[in-house]
Each structure stands twice: as C-alpha cells, then as structure tokens.
C-alpha cells in the first residue's frame, strides 16, 4: 500500500472514531491483502478480492475471529477509503464461533495468582479478576480510579470506549492499599498510574513512565499458568469470564453482571435506570464474599 493510501485510510479510521488498536489491525489486514497479490490494493479487482477470501476460508483456514478482522479492515478500505460498493464485500461473512469460554474455579484463580512472581503484575491480575476488567482497563488503571469512599472502581478504556463503575471488594481494597504503601518510599511509586512500568533510574521524571505493557503482563500470566500446573487453555480474559461466572453462581442477577461487565446490548442502557440499592446490595455483598475468599 502506498504511503498516500495508507495515510488516507488512517485518517478515515480516525474520523470514524475507531480505537488505535482497531486502526492498526485494519491497516494490517489491507497490507496483507496487498502482499498476497504483490500489488497496491487499489489495483486489486473484485474477482481477486473474492478469490482472496476463499483462500482464507478454504486453504489457509483462518480462525473466524481472524477472518472477521480481515473482512472488516478490507471492507472499510474499499467502502470508505476507495468508495467502491462491491457485492463481494457484502457477501462475505465470518462463521460464528460457538465456543464456550474457559472458566477457572476460585481455587484455580488463587493458585495462578500465587504463582505470579512479580508483585506489581500479581496485583494487576488480582484487580482484573476482582473487578471483572478487560486487560486494557486493568493495565491503564489510574490512582484516581479507585474510589474508596463509594467502594467502586472506575473502569476506563473499555471496549467501545465506554466507562463504567464496578464494585470494589473490601479485601481487594486492602490489598491495593498494602501494595501502595509498601512502595511509598520507592522511586517507582507513580503519582498517576496504579501499575506503572519498571522504573528507569536514568529517567528522572517519574511522570514520564507509562503503565505496564500488555505483553509483559500476558507473559507473566502465561508463566504463572504453567507453574500452577493447570491444563486449561486460560488467558487473562479468562479471569473476567471466571469472575462473571462466580458471581452468577453466587446468585447475582444476570442483568447486574452484564452492567458491571459493560457488555453492549439493547438491555444495558435500561439497566442503569432500573437498578436500585435493593438490587445492588446483594450483588455487592456477593462480590465481597467471592473476592474475599481469595484473600481472607
């Protein structure tokens, strides 16, 4: 893809309000299409585009999620950047995945977290589980996101850039405070990020430090999972699935859980208007009971 085409597509993606990660994935999808045919994507015909998706389906046998990203990126490029309304783009659909998510028991979550060697990573993963956060929400937590007066965590940078508040358990707050004050006199205690990256002595401005990276904490989780001996194909996102399942098993209303997870649905908007203290109280108590069993 030429520099001018790439620039135009990136500008279109920005104007469309897509996240930086989505923008990168869409551009990569078009780049892979161009590399497949060894020519600029604006020179590719509709017949070639059709053949490309058949190749992804029948020969390469990519996962449905991979096909979805490829289709979305290529479709965006041709519809919005090149303004071509091809039938093939409307025809291709990725097969729907019907896999049930992997779920860990509370004992398995406790075991995995105990195998995380670096305390900063352990606390971040514990918070991700304890609040049902997505990975990006967890690593980007700020000091001000922890509201100990209202006992909630402000989840930001979620899917669709939707903010939400999640109940904060008493036991998790205690752990976060212990972690915070343990590093009170250390140079890497950051005034902004709750889980900052490693402190570099050459960088005299702590404010310039960013949060821990997704790659580093994913690596920490993978090592901990292996050390635990648990054979389930778990990932960091499994902690979120497990949290929701544990709350459902504890009797929390499914609609309340959907609101806490920030799932986009036709019901989610109305949930916030109908939730009452009487509905919230059992949920908050259940969260304290469930999460408190990890750190009695």
- Residues with a catalytic annotation lie at 134, 159, 237, 240, 263, 272
User: Which sign does the torsion angle of CA 217, 223, 226, 228 carry?
Assistant: negative
Tokens for 101? Answer: 């998510």
Give the ranges where the chain is alpha helix by DSSP (H).
Answer: 3-15, 20-37, 46-54, 64-76, 87-91, 106-114, 119-131, 135-139, 170-182, 214-228, 236-249, 254-261, 268-274, 277-292
Question: 116-123: long-range contacts at Cβ-Cβ below 8 A with a sequence spacing of 24 or more?
Answer: 116/220, 116/221, 116/223, 116/224, 117/220, 117/223, 117/224, 118/220, 119/179, 119/182, 120/179, 120/195, 120/196, 120/212, 121/195, 121/212, 121/216, 121/217, 121/220, 121/221, 123/175, 123/176, 123/179, 123/195
């Amino acid at each position: 893809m030429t520099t001018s085409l790439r620039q135009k597509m990136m500008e279109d993606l920005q104007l469309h309000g897509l996240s930086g990660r989505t923008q990168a994935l869409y551009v990569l999808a078009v780049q892979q299409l161009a590399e497949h045919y060894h020519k600029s994507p604006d020179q590719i015909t509709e017949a070639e585009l059709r053949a490309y998706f058949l190749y992804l389906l029948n020969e390469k046998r990519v996962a449905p999620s991979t096909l979805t990203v490829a289709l979305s990126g290529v479709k965006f490029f041709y519809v919005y950047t090149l303004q071509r309304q091809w039938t093939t783009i409307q025809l291709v659909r990725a097969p729907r995945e019907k896999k049930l998510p992997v779920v860990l028991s509370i004992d398995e979550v406790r075991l995995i977290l105990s195998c995380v060697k670096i305390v900063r990573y352990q606390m971040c993963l514990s918070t991700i589980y304890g609040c049902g956060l997505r990975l990006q929400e967890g690593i980007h937590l700020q000091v001000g996101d922890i509201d100990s007066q209202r006992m909630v965590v402000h989840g930001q940078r979620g899917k669709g850039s939707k903010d939400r508040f999640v109940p904060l358990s008493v036991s998790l707050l205690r752990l976060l405070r212990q972690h915070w004050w343990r590093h009170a006199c250390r140079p890497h205690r950051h005034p902004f990020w709750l889980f900052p990256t490693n402190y570099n002595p050459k960088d005299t401005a702590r404010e310039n430090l960013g949060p821990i990276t997704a790659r580093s904490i994913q690596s920490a989780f993978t090592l901990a999972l292996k050390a635990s001996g648990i054979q389930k194909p778990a990932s960091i996102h499994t902690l979120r699935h497990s949290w929701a399942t544990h709350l459902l098993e504890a009797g929390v209303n499914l609609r309340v859980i959907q609101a806490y997870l920030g799932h986009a649905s036709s019901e989610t908007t109305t949930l916030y208007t109908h939730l009452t203290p009487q509905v919230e109280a059992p949920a908050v108590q259940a969260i304290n009971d469930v999460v408190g069993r990890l750190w009695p």
